[in-house]
Structure 1
Amino acid sequence: MAVFSSLDLASLVDISKSSLTLALLSIAFNPTAWNVVARNEYRNKTITRLFGGNTRYGCYFLAILIFSFGVLRDSLYQRALADQPRVALLPEPYATLIPAVLFIVGQTFVITSTWALGITGTFLGDYFGILMEHRVEGFPFNVLRDPMYVGSTMCFAAGALWYERPAGLLITFYVYIVYAIALRYEGPFTDMIYAKRAEERAKGSKKQI
């Protein structure tokens, strides 16, 4: 027996709202676009050439784009939540406490991972050839492999629970899927970049000997 009938689902999620569609599109766009742009940068140095060969300026430019589109995505998510049916999801005081904790922990993961990686480490500097010397192993990377993605997903869930929008929980699940797919492409490619550097350094050491 189904938990929700089609009538129940319609009362929880209004799929006719254009704001919902825009939010879903923006969520999928961000990691997809940045992976495509970063891979193109690694192979063709398109952005670097726009800045006269300065890789750092190119990376900072991409960082501004990623951050700006992230703000736009969050704004579209907030608008989508406002247009969706409101239903009590948790009893008090948990309705306030749980989303607050989720948001604080999620933001902690996002902020501390950005601090640990720095601007270039956070915003795909590897694809510009700006590589870190050592793998970051301190907090939050000693707790999670991908703290930024996990933290961001937690913040989406926090928003859904805080504003009591069941649609927000479905969007959060969608965010999780989108990030999981993005990581399947981003992770191995980044590993390849560092493996290639290690290979080149090993060859250089042999030549010196």
Structure 2
Amino acid sequence: MAGLFYKSPASAYVVPGVVDLTQPSLWIAVGSICFNPLYWNIVAQNEYHRKTITKLLGGRRYLGCYLLAVSIFSLGIVRDHLYNLALKDQPTHSLLQQSWVKPAAAVLFASGNVFVLSSMYALGVTGTYLGDYFGILMESMVTGFPFNVMANPMYWGSSMSFVAVALWFGKPAGLLLSVLVVIVYAIALRFEEPFTANIYRQAEKLKKAEAERQALLESDGPASGTRNRNRRTPSKPKA
């Protein structure tokens, strides 16, 4: 009878039509979103400093890079799946169910995937999946599409896809998770960009030092030896 006259207050962890923080699937998705960049940065930086993967594979650094690529790609698929599962448990909002939302989501999703896939094509497997941490360096900086449109198009294209999926299903919680994706990527870039720049800076120093060494060897090469042989040796004074 008491239930007819008294209604329990809504949970402080549920915002109707926006987000339900009591759903475990939401927090699992949060964990996956945060884990992936942490994983590949820790593994890649360890590889750069200690060559752990390369040593385990008997010096086959390309194989090591390909295996890391498979693991990163697989974790990305798992993350996307967990994200979609989380959205199923979240409320929809009427503002995100208007007629223009799904076409906008489709355009955003297509654009994001164009940025991601074209980045992968331009960089190749080793360029995409941290080959430079294995000592597999790009010969020159990629400046064509999509890198002439935005910096880090793979990260921002992926973020666009997250937003697009949230809009398509009308899930405000998906937009919140998309903001988390952007934040996590931005933090990752704060570490990745200077670290990668340092890799190429050190490689350039080694290349320059090697060029100077070769130039020195050439200057002391056959021509120098001929000059030395043609130089008269002082005769010993007669007793």
TM-score, normalised on structure 1? 0.94
Where do 5+ consecutive residues of structure 2 fail to align? 1-10, 216-239
Distance 1:85 1:156 in 2: 17
Structure 1 gaps of 5+ residues are: 1-5
SS of the residue 1:89 aligns to:
helix
- Identical positions, percent: 53
Q: Is the 8 A contact 2:47 2:54 kept in 1?
A: yes
Amino acid at match of 1:115: Y
- Whole-Å Cα distance in 1 between the matches of residues 171 and 12 of structure 2? 17
Equivalent in the alignment of 1:10:
15
Question: Residue 85 of structure 2: which of 74, 79, 94 is its match?
Answer: 79
State the partner residue of 2:27.
21
Q: Which moved more, 1:107-116 or 1:87-96?
A: 87-96
- Separation in 2, partners of 1:143, 1:130: 25
- Give the distance between the partners of 1:208 and 1:78, measured in 2 at CA: 57
Aligned partner of 2:69 in structure 1 is 63
**What is the RMSD computed on CA atoms of the aligned residues?**
1.4
What is the TM-score normalised by the length of structure 2?
A: 0.83
- Which whole-Å CA distance do the structure 2 matches of 1:93 and 1:58 have between them? 48
Residue in 2 that maps onto 1:103: 109
1:184 to 2:190 alignment? yes
CA 1:66/1:8 → structure 2, altered by over 3 Å: closer, same or farther?
A: closer
Structure 2 CA distance for partners of 1:91 and 1:47, relative to 1, 3 Å: same
The reply to whether residue 153 of structure 1 matches residue 159 of structure 2 is: yes
Q: CA contact under 8 A between 1:114 and 1:122: conserved in structure 2? A: yes
Is 1:89–1:166's contact at 8 Å kept on the other side of the alignment? Answer: no
User: For residue 41 of structure 1, what is the amino acid of its counterpart?
Assistant: E
Q: Letter of the aligned partner of 2:44 in structure 1?
A: A
How many residues were matched structurally?
204
Query: Per-residue deviation at 1:89?
Result: 3.0
| Corresponding residue for residue 167 of structure 1 | 173
State which structure, 1 or 2, has the greater radius of gyration over its C-alpha atoms.
Answer: 2
Map Cα deviations across residues 141-175 of structure 1 (whole Å, 9 max, x no partner).
01111000000000000010000000001111111
Amino acid at match of 2:138: M
